[in-house]
Amino acid sequence: MNKFTLENTIEEIVLEKKEAVKYLMDKGIRCIRCGEPIWDKLKDVLEAKGFTDEEKLKILQEINNL
């Protein structure tokens, strides 16, 4: 199992972990809708949504544990 980092793109994550789609959407991060760039890095998307550094690391850990 690959471990993702905040540098991975949303696309890389959801292509490998399909269950990440629902998880990210529950966090308010669109990852499959038209017009939303899925090639953005996870860290950039989380920063744009206002997540703190601590929250970003927790989300990353939860994605890796899916």
In this structure, the dihedral spanned by the alpha carbons of residues 2, 57, 25 and 32, taken in order and rounded to 10 degrees, is -50
The strand pairing partners of 57, in sequence order, are: none
Q: Domain total for the chain?
A: 1
Rounded to whole angstroms, the Cα distance separating 47 from 51 reads: 6
Does any domain span residue 22?
yes
Whole-structure pTM value: 0.86
Q: Which residues constitute the domain of residue 56?
A: 10-65
Does any domain span residue 17?
yes
Does any domain span residue 61?
yes
Does any domain span residue 60?
yes
Does any domain span residue 26?
yes
Rounded to whole angstroms, the Cα distance separating 43 from 24 reads: 13
pLDDT tens string for the chain (66 positions)?
A: 569 999 999 989 989 999 998 999 899 887 666 556 678 899 999 999 999 999 999 999 999 999
Rounded to whole angstroms, the Cα distance separating 1 from 47 reads: 26
Does any domain span residue 15?
yes
Does any domain span residue 1?
no
